[in-house]
Amino acid sequence: MADLYSVQISTLFITGIVAGFSSGLLGVGGAFIMVPVQFWVLKSLGVDPTVAIRVSFGTSLLVLLPTSLTSAITHHRKGAVLWKAGAILGLTGASTAFFGAYVASQLSERILTSVFGCVGILLALRMLTSGTPVSGAGHMDCVGPLILWGVVFGFVSGVIGVGGGGLMIPVMINFLGFSVHEAVGTSAALMIFTALGGSVSYLINGLGVQGLPAYSTGYLNWLQFALLAGSSIPMAIVGAKTAHVMPSHRIRVIFGLVLLFIGMKMIGAFSWLGLPI
């Protein structure tokens, strides 16, 4: 049992490193990497799968708060954060993320993992097949579309336990006129808001729930938070700095491939194909 706990702790710590780097590099927060690992760890401890996926979602959002803040500050120093757009998207998204998290607290594990995986696959396909974007500042100061997209993706981010950056990056690039680096930097800023709204809701809606793992308050697990945040925060700085020396198209390809793999894993596609992944 001691060996099992050591493996789980090491796995979470390493996951935090990867998630933090991806957060800084891609502006996606790392939840698409953290959630499947957290889910596996909690199930291996005997936590009911439905409770486990909700704790994974809630805790991943909590981890995104310091990680996104660190990433946003680093991108800001590179001049890649459009704070007005990020604040509008983030504030509108935070309110609907709260309600999205409430909806998630009422759904089963199978539904949540399937939705999580499908969203990841759709985003991956969009990023891998879309052409090279051109920065067009014409839409960035238009408040209406920013509010609309913030509301929609804030809700979705609350449901599937992500900060919304990964959901918004394709929209920012293809519909709102952001360059890749502007989208990555600004998404880190907006995730500060959506992660806060979603994590608070997961905390409230998990109070009094039976079968929560040790060190939990509602659907937030403080042990997982400490391990993931402790390793992800410094790596978010490294990832953000790397993003500004890496070609835009390469960032898009990395982002798309990572999302595609995780999305297929969460919906069970590899099991259907008989692959030992």
How many Cα atoms sit within 13 Å of 140 on the Cβ side? 18
Joined tokens for residue 180 = 């890749």
- The separation between the first and the last C-alpha atoms of the chain, rounded to the nearest angstrom, is 24
SS3 content of the chain, % helix, strand, coil (to 5): 80, 0, 20
From residue 152, how far is each of 69, 94, 101, 247 by CA, in Å?
Answer: 22, 11, 13, 30
What is the Rg, in whole angstroms, of the alpha carbon atoms belonging to the chain?
17
pLDDT (0 to 100) of residue 136: 47
Provide mean pLDDT across the span 48-76: 89
Q: pTM score, two decimals?
A: 0.78
**Could you read off the pLDDT of 69-103 as tens digits, one per residue?**
888 888 888 888 888 888 888 889 888 888 888 88
Is pLDDT of 197 > 70?
yes
